[in-house]
Amino acid sequence: MKVVIGSGKGGTGKTLLSTSLALTLEYVRYLDLDVEEPNAHIFIKPDIRERIPFSIPVPEIDFNRCTYCGECAKACEFGAIFVGSNTVNVFEKLCHGCASCKLACPENAISERPYIVGEISIGRRDKIEYIMGYLKLTEALSTPLIRHIKKEYGMVSGDIIMDAPPGTSCPFVQSISDTDFVILITEPTPFGLSDLEISVEIVRDMKLKAGIVINRADLGSKEVKEKISGLGLPVLLEIPFSKEIAVGYSKGIPLVDVLPEYREKIKKLWERIREMV
């Protein structure tokens, strides 16, 4: 079963919940897809045995062939190529590595070279297989890295837990696609609700099964909570706003070690998801 934890709003408890899920279930593979700032390793504490660079193919121009016709720039959806009067600028940070420019070039002047945008770390903690994506600083495109990790490491049978990046744009969509269940974790504040509503809409559009976990559940107004339960998705678990949890989290102590009674609650949550899938 492939389960992804997403949120929309950041800081609502994706990593808090996903790491405790992994530590409770034990026999799982954990993918940290929050590649702009992966932090699950702080709680899971895996031994990393391998680090693999990740690159995307970017165009390389053969200036002996190029006629500066501009077809490559026209074909690029992302404005990553600028053709001048006697030079061509390639903006690697805007390139999605789609090769449209290469196909569009009438002179066969474009080849591809790898451009390293990040790194994948592979490790283990007891029975948890741990895989983490890391996007290099100043790089902006996380989607290709997320797609690659899911394709390379997310196609095995057995249970897979994925920590999605915050937000509700392409990286989120990429993270939740082809999963069996989406846990949307939120907090009962207007910001939490606003992003939750967008996330629910996306999950419905993608026809995915989903449920809600409310973190800091005793925070915020009753009105917001009523709206959350009115979204038509089951509320699977509530986690209170507790100083104890926050202090533990700040020291890298997972929820299930701060409050061991959550192991049972999390097991039940997992069983409920299994029934719904």
Partner 1 sequence: MRVAVSATEADHNVAGVDPRFGRCSFFAIYDSDTGEWNSFPNPAKDAVGGAAIKAVEFLKSKNVDVVVTGNLGPNATSSLSAAGIRVITGVTGKVLDAVKMAGG
Residues that bind partner 1 (CB under 8 A): 73, 78-80, 82-85, 87-89, 91, 94, 140
**What does the block give as tokens for 160?**
């897979």
Residue 31 or 81: the one with the smaller Cβ distance to partner 1 is 81
- For residue 231, give the nearest of 246, 250, 212 by alpha carbon: 212
Residue 153 CA to residue 102 CA, distance in Å, equals 29
φ, ψ dihedrals at 87, nearest 5°: -155, 165
Nearest distance from residue 80's CB to partner 1, in Å?
7
Comparing CB distances to partner 1, the nearer of 1 and 94 is 94
Q: Distance (Å, rounded) from C-alpha 28 to C-alpha 262?
A: 18
Q: Measured from the CB of residue 81, what is the shortest distance to partner 1 in angstroms?
A: 8
Listed in order, strand segments (DSSP E) in the chain are 2-6, 28-32, 47-61, 81-83, 88-90, 110-125, 128-135, 160-163, 181-186, 210-214, 235-238
Instruction: Provide the minimum distance between the beta carbon of 87 and partner 1 in the complex, in angstroms, as a whole number.
Output: 5
Least distance between partner 1 and beta carbon 78 (Å): 6
Which of residues 27 and 91 has its CB atom nearest to partner 1 in the complex? Answer: 91
Q: What is the C-alpha separation between 218 and 221, in angstroms, rounded?
A: 9
Judge whether 10 and 186 are in contact, CB under 8 Å: no
Measured from the CB of residue 44, what is the shortest distance to partner 1 in angstroms?
A: 33
Looking at the Cβ atoms of 82 and 241, the one nearer to partner 1 is 82
Beta bridge partners of 119: 53, 134
- Beta carbon nearer to partner 1, 89 or 221: 89
Closer by beta carbon to partner 1, 21 or else 56: 56
DSSP state of 134: E
DSSP 274: H
Contacts of 101 (CB under 8 A, 6+ apart): 59, 72, 73, 75, 76, 81, 110
Of the two residues 75 and 122, which places its CB atom closer to partner 1 in the complex? 75
Minimum distance from CB of 85 to partner 1 (Å)?
5
Q: Please report how close the Cβ of residue 26 comes to partner 1 at its closest, in angstroms.
A: 42
